[in-house]
Structure 1
Amino acid sequence: LMPGKSQQTFIKITDWVLTGFTLLLAGYISYRFIMLLAGPIFGITDSTTKLFYPVQFQVEEEGIAAISGQDLPVELKRAKAFALIEAPTPTGLLIPVKLMRFGMFGVMIWVLFLLRQIVRSVGKGHPFDPENGKRLRWIGVSILAVTLFDFFHDILLNLFITPRLTFDSIIPESSISFNVDDILSAMVIIVIGEAFRIGAEMKKEQDLMI
């Protein structure tokens, strides 16, 4: 059953948006990769490592907050910010960290590509294509991989790079991101993918019986 005219328009717009995001992300990754490898050779170096770290520092500052016609005193107890490591040419541990990030971006492109394939199959009137079940499972697995990557990435940074940060009055914070919501979302997507596969097999059996 083919989608209606309005649904076809929405599907086409979604396809264009996914294609645009994929091309932009691929172009950005290609540029960053070229700058990482060929930049120092041609004298075009990256001014930053793109490595951000949460830090906290003590401040003594007071202010006033006007709430409901009242002036209430405000005292800052602790301030937080992000520290950005700068380097003319990333060397040593910074290169594998950057390559790991490139791998994560590659997974994102892969997910966008799979989403576009699903959208196109829906546009052709085949939403329960068995391939869509596989694509959804791969999307779920990819989300799990990115979540685990962030987790181990933070562990590596805290072990090898964060101890090398030194400040006079700023304390680097060790942060490990483990997003349970992403894990649950990935598991739900994998289950939906399996449901798609079962639905496609049932539809195929019904067609054979008819």
Structure 2
Amino acid sequence: MGIFQIFKQIISSISNRLPFSKENIKRIKLLGLVLLSIPVIEWVADSLMLMYYSGIYSMKYMSLENSNSFDWAMFNLSLLIYTLGFAFEQGRKLQEEQDLTI
């Protein structure tokens, strides 16, 4: 299941007036975790490739360098989306309480 398909399902359920469904909460948390894994995997892959290729392609006055930067914007965005899943969980509880009250 791709990121865009998850996003499409979330939008579809919200447009069907089911924003706080259990499936939606799972989708939002899954989307956050998938997006969280992207910068981590990129950073690990860059570090591993640098270690591998620096041993093979070493020259006297040249060296391979890695920017060694971590994509903090993507990391923070994914944490925000994952946290949104918990907010939707609270919204579901409030909706259930309201449905019982009426």
* TM, length-normalised to structure 2: 0.83
Letter in 2 for 1:200: R
The answer for the alignment partner of 2:95 in structure 1 is: 203
Structure number with the higher helix fraction is 2
Structure number with the higher strand fraction is 1
2:95 pairs with 1:191: no
2:9 pairs with 1:139: no
Q: Secondary structure at the match of 1:172?
A: coil
For residues 36 and 19 of structure 2, what CA distance do their matches in structure 1 show? 24
Q: Secondary structure at the match of 1:161?
A: helix
The answer for the alignment partner of 1:179 in structure 2 is: 71
Percent sequence identity over matched residues? Answer: 26
2:59 pairs with 1:158: no
**Higher RCO (C-alpha under 8 Å, 6+ residues apart):** 2
Give 1:165 deviation, angstroms.
Answer: 2.8
* TM, length-normalised to structure 1: 0.44
| Total equivalences in the alignment | 102
Greater Rg over alpha carbons, structure = 1
- For 1:43-78, what per-residue CA distance to the aligned partner results, in whole angstroms no more than 9, with x for missing partners? xxxxxxxxxxxxxxxxxxxxxxxxxxxxxxxxxxxx
Letter in 1 for 2:15: G
2:9 pairs with 1:117: yes
Q: Is the 8 A contact 1:162 1:174 kept in 2?
A: no
Cα RMSD for the two superposed structures: 2.1
Give 1:183 deviation, angstroms.
Answer: 1.4
Letter in 2 for 1:188: L
Structure 2 unmatched runs, 5+: none
